[in-house]
């Protein structure tokens, strides 16, 4: 079956990897990227360098939080030239502003952007299924959320899909709000929807505001036995003892595709509709230890020396509130047959080598 995939936020880090995967795995299908191209726009367009030459790829510059009619026409597949409608068959919603630090600076922007974009997208899909009710048998809406909606977990706990939502910063609050709105659309309108909640995702093309990409960018300026200039130093919030779990972006897109295929399998749509699924790994590490590992690999591979961490980092004032630990129960995704292929040590080493050899790790 030829599909029409709509990948929102497709010029971003995760979305662009999803697009490349879809174009390679489903070469006869159409993949449409919608992105508003935010403050990282020039950086983001590089992410689409592979996709833009594919004959079945389309890019639409559109702000989903404000451009409702354009979005509805796109979802409906309306052709203003008189050709038959070609509605989308799968929506993969990656669109979101994700920088926690910036969400503290302008929480209203995060509310307007993240929540209204998702609300408008849902409403467009609802209109599509109302106009073409039989299309619901072939349609899937998969929303990419985050494990941050569960809030902080103590050292023994892992949040499962039924755990209470306890977001603690403006960014995660908008993601939790989106999850609740999506759940309401499933309950109220019986829309075929799944919510996925991955943990921290890393990999090539990540914008240098997340810890891995920030560290790699800083290391491009380092020399052995020299202190990094202050403007290039790697910021560590607080004392660096908060922990996170990390998932490689290629494992994420595999998981999304696996869930989509099970969701779309004949006879399973109603069983799967409304499901929430955690995606992640158990590769948990303190921030300070993680930065040390990245720096050690870089310095040994490039200069043959160990990293002197104190010459590379600075300890910044902590956020107004910073969750000490995120952790999710992965029983459901594992029972479906998915497990990560890339261990954290191997993924980081590959990323460091890409940065050294090609400058493409970030």
Write down the CATH superfamily of domain 4-203+247-279: NAD(P)-binding Rossmann-like Domain (3.40.50.720)
Name the strand (E) or helix (H) holding 161. Answer: none
Q: Decide if pLDDT at 204 tops 90.
A: yes
pLDDT (tens digit, 9 = 90+) per residue, 137-165? 889 999 999 999 999 999 889 999 999 99
Task: Give the model's confidence band at 361: pLDDT under 50 very low, under 70 low, under 90 confident, else very high.
Answer: low
Backbone φ and ψ for 361, nearest 5 degrees, come out as: -70, -20
Residue 217, token pair as written in the block: 């960018």
> Among 170-174, 202-206, 225-229, 347-351, whose mean pLDDT is lowest?
225-229
Mean pLDDT of the chain: 93
**What confidence score (pLDDT) does residue 268 get?**
54
Mean pLDDT over 124-146 rounds to 92
Residue 80, token pair as written in the block: 């203003």
**What confidence score (pLDDT) does residue 362 get?**
63
pLDDT (tens digit, 9 = 90+) per residue, 249-296? 999 999 999 999 988 764 555 566 899 999 999 999 999 999 999 999
Which residue would you say has higher pLDDT here, 133 or 36?
36
Tell me, rounded to whole angstroms, the distance of Cα 260 from its chain centroid. Answer: 16
Name the strand (E) or helix (H) holding 331. Answer: helix 331-335
Query: Mind telling me the catalytic residues?
Result: 147-148, 171
Residue 122, token pair as written in the block: 């849902």
**What confidence score (pLDDT) does residue 98 get?**
94
**What confidence score (pLDDT) does residue 270 get?**
59
**What confidence score (pLDDT) does residue 156 get?**
83
**What confidence score (pLDDT) does residue 83 get?**
67
Mean pLDDT over 335-355 rounds to 97
pLDDT (tens digit, 9 = 90+) per residue, 105-116? 999 999 999 999
**What confidence score (pLDDT) does residue 310 get?**
93
Question: What is the total residue count of the chain?
Answer: 362
**What confidence score (pLDDT) does residue 319 get?**
72
pLDDT (tens digit, 9 = 90+) per residue, 44-96? 788 999 999 999 999 999 999 999 999 999 999 987 666 677 999 999 999 99
**What confidence score (pLDDT) does residue 221 get?**
93
Mean pLDDT over 190-197 rounds to 95
**What confidence score (pLDDT) does residue 42 get?**
67
Closest alpha carbon to 17 in 281, 198, 226: 198
Count of C-beta atoms within a 10 Å radius of residue 339: 12
Long-range contacts, 163-167 (Cβ 8 Å, 24+): none
- In angstroms, the first-to-last Cα distance of the chain is 36
pLDDT (tens digit, 9 = 90+) per residue, 289-318? 999 999 999 999 999 999 999 999 999 887
């Amino acid at each position: 079956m030829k599909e029409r995939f709509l990948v929102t936020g497709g010029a971003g880090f995760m979305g662009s990897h999803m697009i490349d995967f879809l174009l390679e795995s489903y070469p006869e299908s159409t993949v449409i990227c919608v992105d508003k191209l935010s403050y990282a726009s020039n950086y983001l367009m590089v992410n689409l360098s592979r996709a833009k030459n594919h004959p079945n790829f389309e890019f639409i510059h559109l702000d989903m939080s404000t451009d409702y009619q354009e979005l509805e026409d796109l979802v409906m597949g309306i052709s203003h030239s008189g050709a038959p409608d070609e509605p989308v068959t799968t929506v993969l919603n990656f669109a979101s502003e994700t920088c926690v630090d910036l969400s503290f600076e302008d929480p209203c922007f995060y509310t307007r952007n993240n929540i209204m974009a998702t609300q408008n997208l849902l409403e467009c899909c609802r209109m599509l299924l109302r106009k073409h009710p039989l299309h619901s048998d072939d349609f899937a809406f998969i929303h990419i959320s985050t494990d941050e909606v569960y809030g902080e977990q103590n050292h023994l706990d892992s949040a499962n899909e039924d755990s209470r939502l306890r977001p603690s910063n403006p960014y995660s609050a908008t993601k939790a709000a989106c999850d609740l709105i999506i759940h309401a659309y499933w309950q109220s309108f019986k829309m075929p929807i799944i919510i996925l909640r991955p943990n921290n995702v890393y990999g090539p093309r990540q914008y240098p505001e997340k810890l891995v990409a920030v560290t790699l960018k800083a290391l491009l300026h380092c020399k052995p036995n020299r202190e990094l200039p202050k403007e290039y130093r790697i910021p560590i919030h607080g004392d660096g003892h908060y922990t996170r779990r990390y998932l490689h972006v290629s494992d994420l897109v595999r998981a999304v595709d696996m869930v989509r295929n099970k969701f779309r399998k004949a006879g399973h749509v109603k069983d799967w509709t409304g499901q929430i699924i955690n995606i992640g790994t158990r590769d948990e590490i303190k921030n300070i230890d993680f930065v040390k590992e990245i720096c050690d690999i870089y310095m040994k591979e490039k200069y043959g020396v160990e990293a002197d961490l104190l010459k590379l980092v600075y300890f910044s004032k902590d956020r107004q509130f910073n969750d000490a630990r995120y952790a999710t129960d992965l029983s459901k995704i594992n029972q479906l047959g998915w497990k990560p292929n890339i261990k954290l040590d191997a993924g980081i080493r590959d990323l460091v080598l890409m940065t050294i050899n090609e400058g493409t790790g970030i």
